[in-house]
Amino acid sequence: MSSISVALAGRFLPDLSPIGTVAGEVRVTGLASGPELRATLRGSGLRPGASWSNGLPSLNLRAEASWVSGAARLRAELEAGRAGRLTLTATLPQGFGNTAQLEAGLEGSLALQPLAAPFLAAGANRVTGRLQLALRASGPLSAPELGGRATLSGGEYRNPVYGVRVRDISGTIVGEGTRLVVERLGARTVGGGTIALRGDVDFGVDGLPADLTLTARNARPAVSDLVTATVDAGLRLVGPLLGNGLLSGQVRVQRAEVRIPQSIPSSVPVLENVRVRGTPPPGAILPPSAQPNASNSAAPADLPPIRLEVAIMVPGQIFVRGRGVDAELGGGLRIGGTLAEPVPQGGFDLRRGTLSVLARRLTFDRGRIDFANGTLMPRLDLTARSQAGSTSIIVAVQGTPTKPEITFSSSPELPQDEILARLLFDRSTDRLSPFEIAQIAAAVAQLTGIGGGRGAAP
């Protein structure tokens, strides 16, 4: 039984560029009118050789098949190193005719991290956990029914860029005919909150109709330098996942904090001439099979066309803090549109708030947080007023938490440094000492966030 390289198939599978070796043997015995067939196949070091698969574990395959007395049987074992092992069994007692009844099973255990890491390496998403499979399919070969279950344990999802961390993910998905039923899928968030998902998806109907319910209790799914929130939620997704499904329900924010970074770098380095390992350098002449086209484009897939009808209720306790700002807001928000293009309506209005500039504290008299269509990034609009002698001073905080703008204006109109002099010392700049002028420079640094190349404060 000689081995051959699967790289020979690369000509027909250019997007895979397979690597590894296989060896097989076929034996035919018995009478010509009713032969018996037995075959074995061995594979080692099997994996795609394409650049997108860098880091995937190699596979070892051992398969045995037979055809005896009109019945077909298959048993295959697939090992994926530290990712785990799968065993597939299948039987067709009556051959491959129209009345053939399939009995098949897939069992094994898979670690998610080795399989997902190569696809997630370029981004901030990280996934861990172990999946136990005990699946089966039975019935007519043309339309078998699904059964068995898949159990996830020890799961975790992290995205440090957005501060998302969901841990202790566990649950069971059961096959019932053409439906996959989520019996129980739960997780914990920072601080002990919980998230749970139940429902089903029908893979036997066009559009993949679903009925899924998500509940959250005291959940803090995201804790970052910019936004932290504790929420209760009850959301339901009904309808086809690939069609005009609807995600509706309510999210109640118990407490949230939007933090304005205390400082931002005075300059940000820009990386140039960056390319992915295994890809040709800029200007290289590619063969026709490697030229970009619609079939091998790396453009991300669009989000499914799910409609949104979600209400976000905030009785109070949305805090905006940083750069001297300390404000509390409350209100409500309704999100329409779709997953790809959310349309938020409403916002959160000021309950109270102050702005501290060195030793001077101003009280906000107006404030609001709203959101632009197509994004859920908050937009700040806060205004504080102060009186310095005969000069009325207005301080405005606008923009996003990642790029806030704090501006000063006055009546009568004065230059920015003059406004700060009146605000902080109730005197004009020509009457300030060098130390007081230095204090104005420190106040400007505090409010603008330019801090000599330091990163954003945690």
Q: What is the pLDDT of residue 1?
A: 57
Query: Are residues 339 and 217 part of one domain?
Result: no
**Number of independent structural domains in the chain:** 2
Q: What is the pLDDT of residue 263?
A: 57
Residue 33 is assigned to a structural domain of this protein: no
Query: Which ranges constitute the DSSP H helices of 161-238?
Result: none
The Cα 419–Cα 424 span in angstroms is 9
Q: How far is CA 70 from the centre of its chain?
A: 49
Domain limit, last residue, from 192, 223, 254? 223
pLDDT per position as a tens digit, 439-453:
878 777 766 655 433
Q: What is the pLDDT of residue 448?
A: 64
DSSP H or E segment with residue 317: strand 307-322
> For residue 252, which of 222, 218, 226 has the smallest C-alpha distance?
218
Q: What is the DSSP letter of 280?
A: P
Residue 259 is assigned to a structural domain of this protein: no
The Cα 147–Cα 173 span in angstroms is 10
9: helix, coil or strand?
helix
Which ranges of the chain have pLDDT less than 50?
A: 264-301, 451-458
Q: What is the pLDDT of residue 291?
A: 44
Q: What is the pLDDT of residue 188?
A: 93
Q: What is the pLDDT of residue 395?
A: 86
Residue 327 is assigned to a structural domain of this protein: yes
Neighbours of 294 (CB within 10 A): 6
> For residue 399, which of 415, 384, 417, 377 has the smallest C-alpha distance?
377
Strands 126-140 and 101-111: antiparallel
Q: What is the pLDDT of residue 456?
A: 35
The Cα 219–Cα 188 span in angstroms is 8
Residue 57 is assigned to a structural domain of this protein: no
CA distance to 131, 164, 317, 368, 379, per residue, from 352 (Å): 49, 29, 10, 11, 18
pLDDT per position as a tens digit, 253-292:
888 888 877 654 433 344 444 444 444 444 444 444 444 4
Residue 169 is assigned to a structural domain of this protein: yes
Query: Are residues 444 and 315 part of one domain?
Result: yes
Q: What is the pLDDT of residue 289?
A: 40
Q: What is the pLDDT of residue 130?
A: 94
Domain limit, last residue, from 165, 199, 223? 223
Q: What is the pLDDT of residue 151?
A: 95
The Cα 37–Cα 77 span in angstroms is 20
Instruction: Give 46-76 as a DSSP string.
Output: EEE-SGGGTTPPPEEEEEEEEEETTEEEEEE
Q: What is the pLDDT of residue 387?
A: 84
Residue 89 is assigned to a structural domain of this protein: no
Domain limit, last residue, from 207, 223, 239? 223
Task: For residue 139, give its domain range.
Answer: 102-223
